[in-house]
Amino acid sequence: MTWADLSLIAPELALAAAACAALLQDAWATGPALESRSRGPAAAWIALGGVCAALLLLGVRPAGAAQVGFAGMYVRDGITRVVDLAALAAAGLGVMLSPPYLERFRLPAGEYHALLLLSTAGAMLMGASRNLVLLFLGLEMLSFPLYVLAALARRSRRSQEAGLKYLLLGAFATAFFVYGVALVYGASGTADLSRLGRAPDVPLLHAGVAFLVIGLGFEAALVPFHAWAPDVYEGAPMPATAFMSVIAKVGAFAGLLRLFPQALPQLAPAWGQMLAAIAVATMILGNLAALAQSNVKRLLAYSGVAHAGYILIGIASGGPAGSSAVLYYLLVYVAMNLGAFGVLLLLERRGEEADRVEDLAGLLGRAPWAAVVLAACMVSLAGLPPTAGFIAKLYLFRAALQDHRVALALVGALTSVVSVYYYLRVASVALSAGAADAVAVRHSRFAGVGLALAAAGVLWLGIVPGAITALVQQAVQALR
């Protein structure tokens, strides 16, 4: 290990240091008491400081050629940069949106922020891995904190159930991933992704890659590995749901990006077909199931499944166009999904989460800005102009058409039309007159800034996407 290696992982180190600081601060403030007493925003400020430091360290590093460190395991290139940006945006927004909720429901703030930061570091490691072992470690570091976050509300049986379900199924899926790593290693004699391209084309390699897809597909909630998503999203405390809905996708798709278009281009015909089939199933099932939901958390869970299907279009299409579309979509998805959850986090129904669609009724009258942000995010999730969701989908479908996958683009477009119905239903309830009884709106300056940032991201990426488009296209230049 050298200083060069250490400077490569500086953003991850900043996050880990902030996580430890948050834990220690909490322990210090709590003292010998059983329950954490530090509910003030101290932990949130520490976490925010960590995220800002990581962003700064990311920014000062010149965007040049790819740099490899840790004996070829870790690579910092354009893709790493964009994935880090998405993960840090998710962490930053997650931190800013949650303090009012944590305080109201008496969740342990120190642990919440520490776990959130470590999970972010895991997603960033996945985006930077050049070796299957590191990819596996990143997956573990991403998912372990999420299991705990899902079960964080220990007074709620639903939360405990969500945590247990997520843990058991996640462990099962991870086992497949490890088995896949072993099979790929057995077939190619290397776990190095950059050397996988020269591996002999034997059945064992195909089996191993299929198993890797199971592990990553679980994390991304692709059909048929999506069954956990609605239950876990519904049961987990809402800030955890919001954060996991985006960070898991960032990590999983970063892994898929590293694995397929980058490491295995020679097998593209084989995995292209497989991923395209999964994408079609995911888009159709996710959107149809979302139609029937009356609980916003479940609705957003199925919407997350559907969006995983859309993003997979980019992976299946491969090449620079597909990969850059995936990266762009991840950034957009972070902003719009966290924006939508952020508004829900402000609401409270009789000491519980306000997670039914009708709880949103009359939001315009009481919190006009929140209602507008929610509507903008819903429009963006549906993929309508002038929001970022539209541009992101456009890039994806264009990549599919360039790769002559007309069916994929067609299914994507048709299911997007279906999705307009349920997204706009939520938006129209929020913008309608009338008031839901017993639903209170909690104002918080911290969360307000977070919401404003998310909304700004959704609109900015939709109206002037030039800068970010250039960034993602530059990121995938190394791909052929």
Partner 1 sequence: MSGEAIAFYVLAAVTLGSGVVVVTSPNVVHSAVALVPTFLGVTGIYVLLSAEFVAVIQVLIYAGAITVLILFVIMLTEGGTGIRARQRNEQGAIGAAVAAAMAGLLIAVAVRTPWARLPGTLPTYTPGAIGQSFLGPNLLVFEGTSVVLLVSLVGAIVIARKEE
Q: Rule CB under 8 A: which residues touch partner 1?
A: 1, 5, 9, 16, 23, 33-35, 70-74, 108, 111, 114-115, 118, 121, 125, 133-134, 137-138, 140-141, 144-145, 147-148, 151-152, 154, 160, 163, 183, 187, 189, 200, 202-204, 206-207
**CB-CB contact of 227 with 283 (8 Å):** no
The residues that bridge with 347 in the sheet, in sequence order, are: 441
204 or 424: CB nearest partner 1: 204
Q: Which class for 394: exposed (0-12), middle (13-18), buried (19 or more C-beta within 10 A)?
A: middle
Reduced to 3 states, what is the DSSP secondary structure of residue 96? helix
Joined together, the tokens standing for residue 82 give 């964009």
CA-CA-CA-CA dihedral for 193, 199, 203, 205, to nearest 10: -10
On the 0-12 / 13-18 / 19+ scale of CB atoms within 10 A, 32 is exposed
The whole-angstrom separation of Cα 69 and Cα 58 is 16
Q: Which is nearer to partner 1, 163 or 389 (CB)?
A: 163
Q: Which is nearer to partner 1, 88 or 118 (CB)?
A: 118
The DSSP symbol for 70 reads T
Nearest CB to partner 1, comparing residues 19 and 334:
19
Instruction: Give 129's DSSP letter.
Output: B
Other CB atoms within a 10 A radius of the CB of residue 185 amount to 18
In the complex, the smallest distance separating the C-beta of residue 87 from partner 1, rounded to whole angstroms, is: 15
Residue (174 or 303) nearer to partner 1, CB: 174
**CB nearer partner 1, residue 163 or residue 465:** 163
Q: How many other CB atoms are found less than 10 A from the CB of residue 203? A: 9
Query: Cis omega (within 30 of 0) on the bond before 386?
Result: yes
Which single residue is written with the structure tokens 């996991």?
Answer: 244
Nearer to partner 1, 95 or 125 (CB): 125
CB of residue 2 to partner 1, shortest distance in Å? 11
